[in-house]
Structure 1
Amino acid sequence: MKPTVQAYLAYLRNNNGDLNQQRAELTKTKKELAKLELDERKGDLHRTEDIEQALSTMLMNFRTKIMSMPAKLAKTLAGMSDNAEIYDLLKKETDEALDELSDYDTAFAVQQEGADDGRTDEEPE
């Protein structure tokens, strides 16, 4: 009977160690999750879906500007003969279109204002 008792005690010790390790891992995971949630609320971290939506919005706005340039400029450019004026007008319109790509803060703000994905500030545990 002595070896059986010793084996049982060893079993209890090993399982207790596993339980303590699991608790430590759970505590660590909860801490990491709380940090991520805090970073997201502070705006230091963005969800992948939010980034994809903001980038999509930016690129669609950029595409629209680029695609509208020929129709917008054709008549004006047809009447111009000075290369410097043509260059200045094309540069101005190109820079305006490129500004769409540099204004990611606005894209995030517009995306976040329009988002209604049902997320709440408090998640059930």
Structure 2
Amino acid sequence: MAETKKNLQSTRTIASLFGVTTRRVEQLKTEGIIQGEGRPIKYDLFPTVKSYIQYLSDKANGREKKATDQENESLKIEAEARFKQAKAEMEELKLQEFKGELHRSEDVEQITTEHVMQVRAMLMALPNKLAVDLAHISTAAEAAERIRKEVQTVLEDLSTFRYDKEAYHKRMRERANMQNKVYDEETP
């Protein structure tokens, strides 16, 4: 049997031929009623028309495939189970956050930014702190030693930085209060 040449048509052409919107043609493709191929999607005219006529005939004669009540109930149960699972996972994450085992990225970013700004302030203070002392020093070795001591002091100050769990919990409570405030304002 000789292979027939495909007559590929655009979604717009098929929509015009069927008397429907292009969106409806896309829905028919998604539902598996008609088949498209390529990018952009094109439809082989003869098989597409034949499939659409078969679909309309089945629909007119009540043979259209419909989901049964049992299938619908099964889908509903699955959706509810996925929803409950997602809700449980969210609550578990909230609990981990409350316990301090998990931190929000925006909190980590804010704490890190504050720490970096503290380091920056300490480094920016060095020139003013050393200017008078270095002006009275006569040798490069003495100046280097004085700078080294001041840098060592800055590094020791930085080494004392510790994670403050209570400060994090305070941020968490403030965020929760802000969320409740927004919720209260939106609720009539």
TM-score scaled by length of structure 1: 0.69
Rg comparison, structure with higher value = 2
Superposed displacement of residue 59, structure 1: 1.3
What is the TM-score with the length of structure 2 in the denominator?
0.49
Paired position in structure 1 for 2:74: 17
The question of 1:27 aligning with 2:84 is answered yes
Summarize deviations over 1:27-59 as a string: whole Å, max 9, x none: 211221111011101111112221122112111
Structure 1 or 2: more helix by fraction? 1
Instruction: Tell me which amino acid in the other structure corresponds to 1:45.
Output: L
Query: What is residue 100 of structure 2 aligned with on the other side?
Result: 43
Q: Which range is displaced more, 61-70 or 86-95?
A: 86-95
**Offset, 1:94:** 2.4
Taking only the aligned residue pairs, the percentage that are identical comes to 27
Tell me, which stretches of 5 or more residues in structure 2 are unaligned? 1-61, 184-188
The answer to whether 1:89 aligns with 2:175 is: no
* Kept in 1: contact 2:134–2:143 (CA 8 A): yes
Name the CA distance, whole Å, in 2 between partners of 1:68 and 1:119. 37
Relative contact order, higher structure (CA 8 A, sep 6+): 1
**2 CA distance for matches of 1:113 and 1:36?**
18
Aligned length: 114
With 39-48 and 92-101 compared, the bigger mean Cα shift is at: 92-101
Match of 2:158 in 1: 100
Aligned partner of 1:68 among 125, 140, 145? 125
CA RMSD in angstroms, aligned pairs only: 3.2
Cα separation, 1, equivalents of 2:171 and 2:72: 51
> Does the residue aligned with 1:68 lie in a helix, a strand or coil?
helix
Query: Gaps spanning 5+ residues in structure 1: where?
Result: none
Q: Is the 8 A contact 1:77 1:86 kept in 2?
A: yes
